[in-house]
Amino acid sequence: MSKDELALIEFRNAFTIKPDLDDLKFDYANLLADMGKTQDAINMYKEYIQYKPKDPMAYFNLGLIYQKNS
């Protein structure tokens, strides 16, 4: 199992224990994007943006995903 896969499991465990860990959603979205899980990453960035709508990096990273897939 790769480090990314292990990290993915740990993120999921953290969200199972405490689903309102909104600050971690950005890092989780980054991991999903790095792993090629595009739609999951998009969804997670959107969730994070609901929590922190003024974070420019979330919009930037979301834009990168859309650009790569257009």
| pLDDT tens figures, 30-51 | 999 999 999 999 999 999 999 9
Rounded Cα–Cα distance for residues 54 and 67 (Å): 21
Q: What is the CATH number of the domain that holds 30?
A: 1.25.40.10
Give the pLDDT of residue 70: 83
Domain that holds residue 32: 3-68
Give the pLDDT of residue 59: 98
- Count structural domains, the chain: 1
| pLDDT tens figures, 3-36 | 999 999 999 999 899 888 888 999 999 999 999 9
User: pTM score, two decimals?
Assistant: 0.88
Q: CB-hemisphere CA count at 13 Å for 3?
A: 1
Q: Which residues contact 57 (CB under 8 A, 6 or more apart)?
A: 26
Give the pLDDT of residue 23: 84
Rounded Cα–Cα distance for residues 63 and 59 (Å): 6
